[in-house]
């Protein structure tokens, strides 16, 4: 039985290989991919990108990506013998009929120089005869380009399996130590968990700048000092690289007001910085002073102005903060007030609530993505491959003084040579 | 009206005029000199385009690459300059400069429908990677526009087949640049959002165009498509390219990070 199966496989395998590696199949698959993506583009008019991403992850897409990779692999495998011939340093086609022939009546030295100038690697075959080869690495370009599909696919799959991100809110002056309470959230594939990399840093500064008071960031730079290293700048589009696969990214910012609670006319009974989501102005967040049953709702107006008794903010810059405060105890509303600056207290039930200072906090993401460098390598490989192809396919020439012609295999005759110049 | 705005409109008028006259000259077999004159005249919109680009740069304080209006100007400049560059290489015998001028005029006309108020660049627009991505994108568009121009010549000009030798090299160069555009865009997306691909419609449309041009190259290499057939498909795919570059503004602004106009809908007249 095994002998029969082996014979059958030997008979069928080449035909199957040819089918799998055929250019017709690759055309069918790429056109199918284009149509699938056209559907995605149409979907994206009405659906958020997360939903489009989910549609793109349907099994039918995976089947087509897989089929494309199989097709490319089979195609490259079938053409491997051709690659070896194309890369040969010496001309080997001279025994076959040339694809073109142009007159070239010159002497050896002029012919050698003319061919070298046009990129041919020239070798003499005795007086009055030269052989030349150029663009011999063009086929390697095809291999690089199509081979890059596998590297890119490996990159995406590695990302899918290993990508993890840890979201942190770190106030200015605060040190990140990796303590669990400093990690706001973790996102990952769930397939493999490598954990948060060993990282400690201090957030030294963050500077937001806006366009004409609009909610339009023109800059958001922060300075962090990694443990034992000099301070480095992180921008929203310029992460700090911790390793080729791990980066510390700045992704946002907000206000961290410090509340101070004291017994009226007495000592401070509670004080702490609060990393609240109160940016942009108008957004309200809530906190509970430690050890007290009260619930405080807060809005921060960073550049307070009052027009006709209505508080608003002149700009988004933290210049003269005002605080819109409402205090509740269970369902009892204890009132709402605008605090004009850090010394202005809100009085309730024998307590004074103030916000003497406001810091910025930065939102950072520690991103571990081992697929990213692989993906980058795949992209570079694709570009190098296409670059090698751009100069044209392998070309061989033979110049003969006796015939007074230049014969060529592959491509067109060099344009100026074909017009009789050298 | 600012100098930049005046130059923008002058460029639109000159490109449209020279382009249409050049296309009329295509049919004038008795006056080959007229064709060469219009081909060489591609220098005029190129110089004007450079002046308009420089004026807008000075006005906006940054490279005019972002937003529909500025992108129209950049695209227009790159198309006329690339077409003229190809004319220079062929000693003004190609006939692609008038096509470049018409495409430039259409691009400028589209840009004029959008707000021209200069605005500061947002964080995501401030990066050399982003600038490189935009430049490569425009270069890809310029080369593929020349490819479309050559296709039009092959399809509609008598003796148009004489330029068919240039069709495949422009297709290959355009495909290379389009790939570089996708790669640089993906790289920048990773720097900005920590993900190299996110199915933003601009990525999806760019990828569709990439697969389409890749398939066309396969058909040329393996099915030996050339001449009029290759030209017809190249021209068709150029329309797809135009949709992927300029059509993105018709997508809802929440669906893409690639609409750079602030409050686009309010500014659309």
Task: Return the biggest CA–CA distance within chain B.
Answer: 61
Q: Is the confidence at residue A18, as pLDDT, over 70?
A: yes
Burial profile B153-180: b = 16 or more Cβ within 10 angstroms, e = fewer: bbeebeebeebbebbbebbbbbbbbbbb
Span A49-76, average pLDDT: 89
Confidence at residue B239, expressed as pLDDT on a 0 to 100 scale: 95
| pLDDT tens digits for range B203-259 | 999 999 999 999 999 999 999 998 899 999 999 999 999 999 998 888 888 888 887
Q: d(Cα A80, Cα A241) in Å, to the nearest integer? A: 39
Residue A10: is its pLDDT beyond 70?
A: no
Using the Cβ of B237 and the Cβ atoms of chain A, whether some distance falls under 8 Å is answered with no
What are the tens digits of pLDDT across the range A208-221?
Answer: 888 776 777 888 89
Flag if B194 and A367 touch (Cβ within 8 Å).
Answer: yes
Average pLDDT in the A236-250 region? 93
Q: Rounded to 5 degrees, what are φ and ψ at A387? A: -60, -40
Is B185's pLDDT higher than 50?
Answer: yes
- Mean pLDDT over A93-107 rounds to 86
CA A369/CA A162 separation, integer angstroms: 6
Which residues lie closer than 8 Å to B222 by C-beta, 6 or more apart? A23
Give the mean pLDDT of B139-160. 90
Residue A189: its pLDDT value, please? 76
Write down the pLDDT at residue A150.
96
Task: Tell me what pLDDT residue B177 has.
Answer: 97
Mean pLDDT of A246-262: 92
**What is the pLDDT at residue A238?**
92
**DSSP 8-state class, residue A302:** T
For residue A383, the chain B residues in CB contact (below 8 A) are 176, 179-180, 183
ipTM of the complex as predicted: 0.89
Supply the pLDDT for residue B157: 81
Contact A154, A170 (CB under 8 A): no
Res B266 pLDDT > 60: no
Give the pLDDT of residue B8: 94
- Chosen from A42, A44, A387 to mutate, greatest number of chain B CBs within 10 A: A44
> Mean pLDDT across chain B, nearest whole number?
88
Q: Is pLDDT above 90 for A6? A: no
Split at pLDDT 50, 70, 90, the class of B267 is very low
Note whether B215 contacts A27, CB cutoff 8 Å: yes
Contacts of B17 (CB under 8 A, 6+ apart): none
Residue B90: pLDDT above 60?
yes
Token digits of residue A247: 């980066």
Residue A9's pLDDT is 63
Comparing alpha-carbon positions, the chain A residue that sits nearest to B210 is A34
Q: How many CB atoms are located within 10 Å of the residue A45 CB?
A: 13
Q: What is the pLDDT of residue B123?
A: 85
Which B residues in the span 161-190 are in contact with A, Cβ-Cβ below 8 Å? Answer: 165, 172-173, 175-176, 179-180, 183, 186-188, 190
A297 falls in which pLDDT band (50, 70, 90)?
very high
pLDDT surpassing 60 at residue A274: yes
| Residue environment code for A300-323, b if the CB has 16+ CB neighbours within 10 A, otherwise e | bbbbbeeeeeebebeebebeebbb
For residue A148, what pLDDT band results from cuts at 50, 70 and 90? very high
Cβ–Cβ below 8 Å for A379 and B183: yes
Annotate A16-70 with DSSP letters as a single string.
HHHHHT-HHHHHHHHHHHHHHHHHHHHHTTTS-HHHHHHHHTSHHHHHHHHHHHH
Mean pLDDT for B30-52 is 82
The residue that leads in pLDDT, A373 or B120, is: A373
Q: Average of pLDDT values for B59-69?
A: 89
Whether A19 shows a pLDDT value over 90: the answer reads no
Instruction: Yes or no: say if A379 and B186 are a contact pair by the CB < 8 Å rule.
Output: yes
In this prediction, residues B140-169 reach a mean pLDDT of 88
Considering only CB atoms, B123 lies closest to which of A31, A217, A249, namely A217
Q: Per-residue pLDDT averaged across A6-10, rounded?
A: 67
* Helix, strand, or coil (residue A261): strand
Local structure of A402: helix, strand or coil: coil
Residues of B in contact with A38 (CB under 8 A): 208
Distance from CA of B251 to the nearest CA of A (A): 6
Q: How do residues A165-189 score in pLDDT, each as one tens digit?
A: 999 999 999 999 988 888 999 988 7
Query: Mapping DSSP to helix (H, G, I), strand (E, B) and coil, where does residue A137 land?
Result: coil
- pLDDT of B29 reads 63
Residue A297 near residue A326 (C-beta atoms within 8 A): yes
- The band of B268, judged by pLDDT with boundaries at 50, 70 and 90, is very low
Closest chain B C-alpha to A218 CA, distance in angstroms: 4
Cα–Cα distances (Å) from B216 to B212, B225, B235, in that order, read 6, 8, 11
* Tens-digit pLDDT profile for residues A317-376: 888 999 999 999 988 999 999 998 888 899 998 999 999 999 899 999 999 999 999 999
Between residues A411 and B51, which one has the greater pLDDT?
A: B51
User: Cβ distance A25 to A71 under 8 Å?
Assistant: yes
CB atoms A365 and B123 under 8 Å: no
**pTM of the predicted model as reported, rounded to 2 decimal places:** 0.89
Coil, helix or strand at residue A133: strand
Asked if residue A284 has pLDDT above 60, the reply is yes
- In the prediction, which pLDDT does B269 show? 38
B222 reaches A (C-beta below 8 A): yes
- CA neighbours closer than 13 Å in the CB half-sphere of residue B180: 22
Q: What is the pLDDT of residue B257?
A: 82
Burial of B61-97, coded b for 16+ CB within 10 Å and e otherwise, reads ebbbbbbbbbbbbbbbbbbbbbbbbbbeeeebebbbb
């Amino acid at each position: 039985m095994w002998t029969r199966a082996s014979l059958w496989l030997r008979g069928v395998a080449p035909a199957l290989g040819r089918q799998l590696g055929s250019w017709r199949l690759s055309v069918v698959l790429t056109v199918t991919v284009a149509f699938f993506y056209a559907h995605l583009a149409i979907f994206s008019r009405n659906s958020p990108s997360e939903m489009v991403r989910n549609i793109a992850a349907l099994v039918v897409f995976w089947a087509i990506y897989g089929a494309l990779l199989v097709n490319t692999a089979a195609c490259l495998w079938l053409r491997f013998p051709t690659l070896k011939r194309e890369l040969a340093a010496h001309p080997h086609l001279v025994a076959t009929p040339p694809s073109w022939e142009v007159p070239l009546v010159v002497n050896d030295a002029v012919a050698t120089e003319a061919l070298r100038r046009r990129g041919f690697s020239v070798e003499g075959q005795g007086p009055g005869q030269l052989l030349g080869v150029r663009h011999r690495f063009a086929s390697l370009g095809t291999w690089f380009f199509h081979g890059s599909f596998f590297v890119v696919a490996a990159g995406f799959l590695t990302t899918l399996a290993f990508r993890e991100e840890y979201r942190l809110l770190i106030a200015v002056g605060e040190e990140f130590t990796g303590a669990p309470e400093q990690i706001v959230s973790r996102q990952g594939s769930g397939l493999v968990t490598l954990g948060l990399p060993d990282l400690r840093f201090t957030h030294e500064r963050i500077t937001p700048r806006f366009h004409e008071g609009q909610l339009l960031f023109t800059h958001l730079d922060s300075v962090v000092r990694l443990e034992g290293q000099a301070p480095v700048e992180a921008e929203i589009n310029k992460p700090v690289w911790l390793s080729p696969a791990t980066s510390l990214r700045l992704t946002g910012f907000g206000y961290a007001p410090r509340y101070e609670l004291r017994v009226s006319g007495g000592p401070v009974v509670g004080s702490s910085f609060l990393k609240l989501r109160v940016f942009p102005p108008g957004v309200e967040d809530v906190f509970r002073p430690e050890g007290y049953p009260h619930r405080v709702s807060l809005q921060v107006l960073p550049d307070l102005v009052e027009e006709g008794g209505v508080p608003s903010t002149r700009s988004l810059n933290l210049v003269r903060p005002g605080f819109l405060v409402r205090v509740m105890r269970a369902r009892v509303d204890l009132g709402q007030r605008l605090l004009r600056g850090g010394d202005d207290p809100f009085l309730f039930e024998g307590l004074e609530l103030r916000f003497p200072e406001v810091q910025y906090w930065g939102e950072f993401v520690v991103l571990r993505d081992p697929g990213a460098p692989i993906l980058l390598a795949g992209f570079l490989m694709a570009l190098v491959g296409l670059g090698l192809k751009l100069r044209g396919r392998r070309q061989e020439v033979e110049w003969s003084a006796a015939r007074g012609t230049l014969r060529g295999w592959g491509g067109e005759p060099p344009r100026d040579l074909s017009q009789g110049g050298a | 009206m600012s100098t930049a705005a005046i130059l923008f409109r002058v460029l639109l008028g000159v490109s449209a005029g020279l382009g249409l006259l050049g296309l009329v000259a295509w049919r004038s077999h008795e006056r080959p000199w007229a064709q060469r004159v219009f081909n060489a005249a591609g220098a005029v919109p190129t110089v004007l385009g450079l002046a308009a680009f420089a004026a807008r740069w000075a006005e906006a304080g940054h490279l005019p690459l972002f937003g529909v209006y500025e992108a129209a100007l950049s695209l227009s400049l790159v198309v006329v300059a690339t077409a003229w560059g190809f004319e220079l290489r062929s000693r003004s015998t190609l006939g692609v400069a008038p096509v470049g001028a018409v495409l430039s005029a259409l691009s400028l006309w589209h840009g004029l429908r959008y707000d021209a108020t200069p605005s500061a660049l947002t964080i995501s627009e401030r990066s050399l990677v982003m600038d490189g991505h935009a430049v490569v994108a425009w270069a890809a568009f310029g080369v593929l526009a020349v490819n479309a121009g050559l296709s039009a010549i092959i399809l509609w000009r008598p003796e148009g087949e004489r330029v068919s030798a240039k069709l495949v090299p422009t297709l290959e160069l355009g495909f290379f640049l389009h790939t570089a555009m996708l790669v640089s865009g993906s790289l920048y997306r990773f720097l900005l959002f920590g993900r190299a691909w996110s199915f933003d419609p601009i990525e999806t449309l760019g990828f569709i165009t990439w697969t389409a041009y890749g398939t066309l190259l396969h058909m040329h290499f393996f099915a030996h498509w050339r001449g009029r057939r290759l030209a017809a498909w190249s021209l068709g795919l150029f329309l797809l390219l135009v949709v992927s570059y300029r059509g993105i503004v018709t997508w809802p602004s929440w669906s893409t990070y690639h609409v750079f106009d602030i409050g686009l809908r309010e500014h659309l007249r």
